[in-house]
């Protein structure tokens, strides 16, 4: 039986959900340090517009880094709409919505451009394309952007296959960050030059 996207997604989710909980704070701290270091390399933080995710219980916790970045950057988060989402400024209080995801309140602002997108993943394939939860929200959102932002995938347990499982429309990254491994997408670095 050959590996499919659905089977790989299921295997990755099982690995993530069964990972030891006792060192989750340590993993989150490592990801936070690595991500902040990477963001400092990219550009002066004061002018960045960053799309960040609000974490689910089994994803790397984004709360501390969002709080830290809000002091220097414009931080936006997804606000679900229909089959995709729009970006809204991060602001409290957060409300629990569809799929158990917390969201900031709706905004009339229509944000057209971001510099960086921090995206949670379930796994990545051989092209470093995202395997998410299967809803396609990030794929639809990225398809609407005029300019592709520098994209960083975040994962608490590295789930990777050399197989090419993703479709053409599945988003890819510039960098994958996990507690133990960073993987730079050399194909994207060439395209940006």
Q: How far is CA 164 from the centre of its chain?
A: 20
| Residue spans per domain, the chain | 5-192
Predicted local confidence at residue 161, as pLDDT: 93
Predicted local confidence at residue 103, as pLDDT: 77
Identify which of 85, 83, 151, 63 has the alpha carbon closest to the alpha carbon of residue 114: 151
Tell me how far CA of residue 24 lies from CA of 57, 64, 69, 97, 129, in angstroms.
11, 14, 21, 24, 25
Under CATH, which number does the domain 5-192 receive? 3.40.50.10420
Distance CA 23, CA 39 (A): 24
Q: What is the pTM of this model?
A: 0.90
Tell me how far CA of residue 1 lies from CA of 4, 6, 9, 45, in angstroms.
9, 13, 15, 47
pLDDT, tens digit only, all 193 positions of the chain: 688 999 999 999 999 989 888 888 899 999 999 998 888 887 666 678 999 998 888 889 888 889 888 888 899 998 887 777 888 888 888 888 766 777 787 777 777 789 999 999 999 999 999 999 888 889 989 998 889 999 999 999 999 999 999 988 899 999 999 999 899 988 765 454 4
Q: H or E segment at 50?
A: strand 49-51
- Residues 154 and 177 sit within 8 Å (Cβ to Cβ): yes
Tell me how far CA of residue 57 lies from CA of 32, 60, 126, 129, 158, in angstroms.
16, 8, 27, 23, 17
The 10 Å Cβ neighbour count of residue 4 is 11
Sign of CA dihedral 42, 162, 166, 63: negative
């Amino acid at each position: 039986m050959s590996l499919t996207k659905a089977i790989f997604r299921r295997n990755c989710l099982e690995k993530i959900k069964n990972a030891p909980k006792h060192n989750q704070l340590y993993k989150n701290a490592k990801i936070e340090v690595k991500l902040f270091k990477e963001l400092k390399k990219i550009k002066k933080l004061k002018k960045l517009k960053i799309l960040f995710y609000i974490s689910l219980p089994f994803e790397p916790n984004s709360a501390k880094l969002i709080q830290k970045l809000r002091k220097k950057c414009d931080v936006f988060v997804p606000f679900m709409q229909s089959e995709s989402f729009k970006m809204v400024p991060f602001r409290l209080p957060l409300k629990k919505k569809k799929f158990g995801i917390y969201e900031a309140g709706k905004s009339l602002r229509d944000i057209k451009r971001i510099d960086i997108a921090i995206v949670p993943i379930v796994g990545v394939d051989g092209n470093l394309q995202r395997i998410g939860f299967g809803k396609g929200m990030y794929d639809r959102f990225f398809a609407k952007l005029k300019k592709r932002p520098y994209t960083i995938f975040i994962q608490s347990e590295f789930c990777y296959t050399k197989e090419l499982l993703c479709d053409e429309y599945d988003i890819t990254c510039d960098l994958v960050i996990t507690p133990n491994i960073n993987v730079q997408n050399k194909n994207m670095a060439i395209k940006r030059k």
